[in-house]
Amino acid sequence: MAGDGARGRLLVAAQFALLAVWLVAGPRVSSQAIGILLQLGGLAIAAWAFVVMTAAQRRLFRIAPDPTGHSTLVTWGPYRWMRHPMYSAILLVVGPAWIAVPPDWRAIGFAALAVVLVTKLRHEERLLAGHFDGYAAYCKTSSRLIPGLY
């Protein structure tokens, strides 16, 4: 669709604007041990997904949600269990630092980031379903963000 590219760019811009607020306003690291463990898990998932996607695409992956002519459907590594491990990683890294720290606007900022990422992944999934014949079957064997839950 004609507006898909513009919508994708808008969602990427919103995602990066919210991440910029997190980077500037802080805190960037959780003050609790469990939060730090979650953040480290998020960084590990991000690194794993980055390596797998880069290897599969034979180039650095794009942040835009629309597939291109050279795109490959990746179903191994973390993508075996979740279709959007980078979005999961972002939520794991940002969430523990922002949710438990006043003021309340940080929790609202995290909720806004989650809404943007879920909106972006739904948009992306619609585009991927139209681009890859096997995407519907892949969706039946994987979760969106949290293996076994969502």
First-to-final CA distance of the chain: 27
Measured between alpha carbons, how far is 96 from 114 in angstroms, rounded to an integer? 13
pLDDT tens across the length of the chain (150 residues):
547 778 888 999 999 999 999 999 889 999 999 999 999 999 999 999 999 998 988 877 667 666 776 778 999 999 999 999 999 999 999 999 988 777 778 889 999 999 999 999 999 999 999 999 999 999 999 999 999 889
Q: In the 8-state DSSP scheme, what is residue 61?
A: P
**Percent helix, strand and coil across the chain, each to the nearest 5:** 65, 0, 30
pLDDT confidence of residue 65: 67
List the structure tokens of 73.
């459907």
* Cβ within 8 Å of residue 79, ≥6 positions away: 49, 52, 53, 85, 142
Q: Sign of torsion, CA 74 144 81 134?
A: negative
Q: 109 near 18, Cβ under 8 Å?
A: yes
Measured between alpha carbons, how far is 88 from 75 in angstroms, rounded to an integer? 16
Q: Which residue reads 């004609």 in tokens?
A: 2
pLDDT confidence of residue 2: 47
